Amino acid sequence: MLNVLYQLYANWFSSETGPNERLQIQPQPQPQPQPQPNTSTALLNANIGKITGHANNCGVHCILHFIHDGLLKGTLDNYLATPNYQLLLAKIQQHTFNGKTAVKWQDIKQFLRQNPNPIEHEYLFGKAYRHFLCEILNQDANYKEAKLIAYFIPDVIVQALESQSSLSKTHPYFEFLNQQIIEFNSSKQTIEQFLTTQEQVITTYWQNFGFYQFIEQLKGNSMLSSDELTNCAQALSIKLDIYYGQQFQLISNNLNSCETTLGPLNLINLHHNHFEWLIENSTVANKHNQYYQQPRPNKSQLLTKVKDYTLAFPQSSNPVLVNATAVAIEPLTSRKNKQLKQAALRTQKPTGKVDKAKNKKKPS
């Protein structure tokens, strides 16, 4: 890992641009965008299916429309009992249908038939799909490692050491960064030297606390990258191709990512990292786009519509549980949270202090 970090530091410090102009490295290596001479005529003539950017979920909205279309057509029936689709169902039960576990895929199909407006689907289901994506990323060890190297070290640690500005207490890594700034100033080292000596401390912190805090932040309204969308599609056995610009440059695909694939689902990123859906069938595209000429839905009215639909379902007394391959992020109590931070900040030097907690007798 040191070789990778050294190369990263060398590229970082040799850059002639400022910190805010440096490009963020994507979680997984991507080939440089290349024009695709074999792009099908149907794709070149495809219609753009409009997508809202509500909650920065445009890419997730494309995936949910693909899933909902497959639900209604029956093309997903053989997948609905698989672990990741059951996990997605659990997220929909939790975030769309108020935790009612009695709502099953058949009920969701009925709801979609009764409410065909795709914008309403984006507002009602987008959060559930984003939480599903975060759950998938949380179990991906390669993504976790890549984010340490490509995000946490250059965009968080280095920028904090460079700016030396006081951090807000609401900063997700407030205590750790403050400690790093103090140790850096007392070390009299260059940033590159300091990062090398602190590699184990930084890695331990990221593994035990930082990454989980990052996932919690990602559950909000953060922009999602093409790699994150690809991971989500792969978990749902969807062949996803993402194109950029009018020349249809292929920038991401998961062609060989899963044995059995649905799709393809084609997305286009034309401007400002906003993803839209490429639909080859003009009739389907027109039917989809007609709703986007109407005023945006009222969120309270949508919630009332869901509440009315779920009145017939019994309220769950237990939290949503699902036997899925993805591992849920266990909420951290404040005590556990503090212990993780202290463990990450602790150096390898012996402190000489006695852990009094270990000497206390357990109550009989």
* Chain segment 64-87, per-residue pLDDT in tens: 999 999 999 999 999 999 999 999
DSSP bridge pairs for 262: 238
Q: What is the pLDDT of residue 245?
A: 77
For residues 116 and 163, state if they share a domain: no
Overall pTM surpassing 0.85 (yes/no): no
The most confident of 14-23, 129-138, 159-168, by mean pLDDT = 129-138
CA–CA distance, 275 with 49 (Å, rounded to integer): 10
Q: Tokens for 228?
A: 């994150």
Q: Which of 24, 58, 239 is nearest to 147 (CA)?
A: 24
pLDDT (tens digit per residue) in 92-148:
999 999 999 999 999 999 999 999 999 999 999 999 999 999 999 999 999 999 999
Look over the chain and give the mean of its residue pLDDT values, rounded to a whole number: 80
Q: Tell me if 137 sits within 8 A of 231, measured CB to CB.
A: yes
Helix H or strand E encompassing 279: strand 274-279
Q: What is the pLDDT of residue 289?
A: 96
pLDDT (tens digit per residue) in 335-348:
444 554 455 444 43
For residues 120 and 157, state if they share a domain: no
Q: Which of 67, 3, 2 is nearest to 262 (CA)?
A: 67
CA–CA distance, 199 with 227 (Å, rounded to integer): 26
Q: Tokens for 98?
A: 């108020």
Let me know if residue 306 belongs to a domain.
Answer: no
- The last residue of one of the domains, among 250, 273, 295, is 295
The parent domain of residue 183 ranges over: 144-220
Q: Tell me if 70 sits within 8 A of 262, measured CB to CB.
A: yes
- The last residue of one of the domains, among 265, 295, 325, is 295
Let me know if residue 28 belongs to a domain.
Answer: no
CA–CA distance, 219 with 215 (Å, rounded to integer): 6
Let me know if residue 10 belongs to a domain.
Answer: no
For residues 280 and 133, state if they share a domain: yes
Number of H helices, E strands in the chain: 17, 6
Q: What is the pLDDT of residue 118?
A: 97
For residues 71 and 129, state if they share a domain: yes
- The last residue of one of the domains, among 295, 311, 342, is 295
DSSP secondary structure letter of residue 24: P
Instruction: Give residue 56's pLDDT band: very low, low, confident or very high (50, 70, 90).
Output: very high
Let me know if residue 9 belongs to a domain.
Answer: no
Whether the predicted pLDDT of 255 surpasses 60 = no
For residues 231 and 107, state if they share a domain: yes
For residues 207 and 242, state if they share a domain: no
For residues 185 and 231, state if they share a domain: no
Provide the domain count of the chain: 2
For residues 135 and 226, state if they share a domain: yes
Let me know if residue 96 belongs to a domain.
Answer: yes
Let me know if residue 284 belongs to a domain.
Answer: yes
Instruction: Give residue 253's pLDDT band: very low, low, confident or very high (50, 70, 90).
Output: low
HEC secondary structure over 96-161: CCCCCCCCCHHHHHHHHHHCCCHHHHHHHHHHHHHHHHHHHHHCCHHHHHHHHHHHHHHHHHHHHH
CA–CA distance, 101 with 273 (Å, rounded to integer): 35
- Range 202-208, long-range pairs (CB < 8 A, 24+ positions): 202/148, 202/152, 202/153, 202/157, 203/1, 203/148, 204/343, 204/344, 205/176, 205/341, 205/344, 205/345, 206/144, 206/148, 206/152, 207/144, 208/340, 208/343, 208/344
pLDDT (tens digit per residue) in 181-231:
999 999 999 999 999 999 999 999 999 999 999 999 999 999 999 999 999
Q: What is the pLDDT of residue 263?
A: 87
Let me know if residue 191 belongs to a domain.
Answer: yes
Instruction: Give residue 259's pLDDT band: very low, low, confident or very high (50, 70, 90).
Output: low
User: 294 to each of 118, 148, 283, 304, 321, how far by Cα in Å?
Assistant: 11, 43, 19, 20, 38
For residues 179 and 274, state if they share a domain: no
Helix H or strand E encompassing 8: helix 2-14
Burial 323-361 (b: 16+ CB within 10 A, else e): ebebeebeeeeeeeeeebbeebbeeeeeeeeeeeeeeee
For residues 135 and 158, state if they share a domain: no
Whether the predicted pLDDT of 7 surpasses 60 = no
Instruction: Give residue 28's pLDDT band: very low, low, confident or very high (50, 70, 90).
Output: very low
Whether the predicted pLDDT of 232 surpasses 80 = yes
For residues 186 and 127, state if they share a domain: no
Residue 255: CATH number of its domain? 3.90.70
For residues 112 and 240, state if they share a domain: yes
Residue 200 sits at the vertex; the CA angle it makes with 196 and 203, to the nearest 5 degrees, is 105
